[in-house]
């Protein structure tokens, strides 16, 4: 039996991640990166302007006219499947996790439709090594995936409340 509160929580996460993602991208594109440059913020963090035409971490980052449409369609199909999962979820953690992933997927899909690529601007680095630039949507997707993995690894199945009923139904 699904819980309406799980669905509401998940939808809230979708709206939060999507809204923060689009707002930060607007701010970066319209205010901060005019002109595009590297802005050091801390010794380990910069704001940069990058365009990812591929998927996570720049994989399949070719300048193909079809990439934006293929990856947008794929993201929307995955988001739809995840929404069905969220609708059936009983755990608040699963609802939050799926909401984070769907919000991120939709945020990046909007970029692909608008720009043909995803705007990435968060650049973390240490000892000359730079993590691939990313954005709020990518963060939501990653955190959501980690939460789903944690739920799968560490959640305990509910024990039956009435042991006698379960024993009577077994052959």
- Check residue 31 and report its DSSP letter: I
**Contact present, 68 and 144 (Cβ < 8 Å):** no
Distance from C-alpha of 38 to C-alpha of 87, rounded to nearest angstrom? 42
Element (H, E) at 49: strand 45-52
The distance of Cα 165 from the centroid of its chain, to the nearest Å, equals 42
Please give the C-alpha separations between residue 32 and each of 37, 48, 51, in angstroms, as whole numbers: 9, 9, 15
In the block, tokens 């990518």 appear at 138
CA 142, distance to chain mean position in Å, is 6
Q: Catalytic amino acids?
A: 120, 138
């Amino acid at each position: 039996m699904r819980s309406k509160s799980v669905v509401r929580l998940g939808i809230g996460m979708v709206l939060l991640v999507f809204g923060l993602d689009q707002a930060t991208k607007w701010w970066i594109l319209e205010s901060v990166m005019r002109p595009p440059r590297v802005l050091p913020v801390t010794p380990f963090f910069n704001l940069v302007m990058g365009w990812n035409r591929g998927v996570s971490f720049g994989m399949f980052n070719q300048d193909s006219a079809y990439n934006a449409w293929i990856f947008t369609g794929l993201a929307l199909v995955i988001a739809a499947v995840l929404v069905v999962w969220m609708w059936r979820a009983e755990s608040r953690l699963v609802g939050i996790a799926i909401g984070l992933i769907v919000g991120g997927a939709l945020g990046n899909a909007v970029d692909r439709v608008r720009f043909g690529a995803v705007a990435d601007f968060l650049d973390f680095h240490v000892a000359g090594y730079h993590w691939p630039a990313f954005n709020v949507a990518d963060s939501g997707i990653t955190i959501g995936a980690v939460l789903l993995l944690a739920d799968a690894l560490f959640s305990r199945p509910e024990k039956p409340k009435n042991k006698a009923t379960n024993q009577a139904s077994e052959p």
